[in-house]
Amino acid sequence: MRQSRHRRRPEYVNPVQEAVDALVASILDLEEGRLGRERDAIIRENQALGGTMNVFLYRGALHSSLPGFRIRDIGPIAGLHRDLHARMDRYLERRERLGRDRTRIRNALSVVGLRCRTRQELRDVLPETLVAQVPALARMARSREEGYLLAGNPVLLKQFRDMVDLVLDYQANRLLY
């Protein structure tokens, strides 16, 4: 086997960004799972109504429950049965909203994370409800008041508070469902 003459530099993993990624995943994983189950149920119902097995086309997009699915693996693919269009529209709206929320949460946490040089600073700026989501942060004691890095910037503070409210909504849904 031939080796490349270029050595790969080891990737630097920013501990703050690592914590941000863990937070986003822990906040949204339940909704991701719920949407995945909804998609799979639509696929099964479509198949029961005479559609293609494990896959269908809707609004020009391919929807499948199979990971790594390729069109050439199956041949012709039927569209979604018309009785399921309203349900699929609701699913797509929820999927789109989740994508927007993921972006808002990640952006707000990343802006805060960029201002933090250590995990301790990240731990201190976040509210307890978010800190509890990441075991590495939860084990640390708070050394400064919540949001201390944003106190001088009202715009960032408002974006951050809006993001916290959004996270609290997802956490409340987790308790309800």
Name the 3-class secondary structure at 56: strand
40 within some domain: yes
- Domain containing 163 equals 15-176
142 within some domain: yes
Give the position of tokens 């408002």: 158
Give, for all 177 residues of the chain, the pLDDT tens digit.
Answer: 455 555 555 565 666 777 778 888 888 999 999 999 999 999 999 999 988 778 888 998 888 887 766 656 566 778 899 999 999 999 999 999 999 999 999 888 888 888 888 888 888 888 888 888 878 888 999 999 888 888 888 898 888 889 989 998 988 887 776
Predicted structure pTM score = 0.78
Q: How many domains does the chain have?
A: 1
Helices and strands (H and E) in the chain: how many: 6, 2
106 within some domain: yes
3 within some domain: no
124 within some domain: yes
19 within some domain: yes
Question: CA torsion angle for 126, 119, 106, 39 (degrees, to 10)?
Answer: -100
